[in-house]
Amino acid sequence: MYKLGMNLLLWTDAVRLDGDKDLMDKVLGMGFDGLEVPIMGMEVSEAKEIGDYFKERNVPCTAISVLGDVNPISEDADVREAAYKTMCHFIDCTQAMGATILCGPFDQQLGYFSGVRPTKQEWDWSVQCTKRASEYALDKGVVLAIEPLNRFEQYILNTVEDGVRYIKQVDMPNAGLLLDTMHMNVEELDIAKALEVGLPYTKHIHISENNRGIPGTGHACGKDVFDVIKDSDYDGWLTIEAFNEGAPSMQGPLHLWRTFAPSDDALAEQGLSYMKEMTK
């Protein structure tokens, strides 16, 4: 059965147990099955503290991050190697936190554009980095869920078709896709049909409205999307990723120029109610 999760990026982009325990208690108290924790800038020891918190409560979690200052498609081999080492650190944090899924747009540096279409060499470098990272993650019991983003945030992976081709080339049992309905709303002609194509390769799903606000108030994650999921064999996480007033470091890269709900808490609570209704 699906697990309904909430991404903490709605409130913060720097989760630490000593400062965010009350936040995590509050969000779990809303009725979510688990939380998605951003691990950007996190040390392994800090991830373990958060993992102990989840373990005490017998609550599962997932991890999310981005490549903000390293790039697996750089022409500089040292930069590409740094991207791989950063991925290994993310994987170590994920394992320490007790999570089995690490998700995010790891095919390239977030917000990087060359100014022209991606080259075959860039694609190959990206696949190589993800394959190496997947090999490292396999022994750690961690699954990588690679996220295609819309064309305004990256240019290697934009569509489900891109993602399926990419995962086939990575060819690792613990590597798959994270499909996000907001990004699909930008790039796909039919979100539900594209989701149907991608689901056999999908390890994680973000339920995200077309304006990144409250799920169910727009046209990115309607009943047709949930019907496709229910008709498939997918039984993993359905996690809300939404933004409102938190996560300041993401506002520029994600072009978050306004708020989308009366409050962060109201967004999460209304989104959860909608997901529960759609998955009955």
Locate the domains of the chain by residue range.
3-278
At 167, list the tokens.
């995962």
Do the bridges between strand 61-64 and strand 175-180 make them parallel or antiparallel, or are there none, so unpaired?
unpaired
Contact criterion met (CB below 8 Å) for 194 and 159: yes
Contacts of 166 (CB under 8 A, 6+ apart): 107, 123, 126, 127, 130, 146, 157
Element (H, E) at 119: none
User: Which pLDDT belongs to residue 252?
Assistant: 84
pLDDT, tens digit (0-9, with 9 covering 90-100), for 60-82: 999 999 999 999 999 999 999 99
Contact criterion met (CB below 8 Å) for 13 and 68: no
Q: How far apart are CA 117 and CA 42, in angstroms?
A: 33
For 117, which DSSP code? P
Q: Which residues of the chain have pLDDT under 50?
A: none
User: Which pLDDT belongs to residue 250?
Assistant: 80
At 248, list the tokens.
């300041």
CATH code 3.40.50.300 for 3-278:
no
* Residues in a beta bridge with 102: 63, 144
Instruction: Give the ranges where the chain is alpha helix by DSSP (H).
Output: 17-29, 44-57, 77-96, 120-138, 160-170, 181-187, 191-198, 223-230, 248-254, 264-278
User: Which pLDDT belongs to residue 86?
Assistant: 98
CA angle 142, 56, 204 (to 5 degrees): 30
At 129, list the tokens.
């980095």
Contact criterion met (CB below 8 Å) for 65 and 119: no
Contacts of 219 (CB under 8 A, 6+ apart): 185, 210
For 118, which DSSP code? P
The pTM (predicted TM-score) of the whole model is 0.97
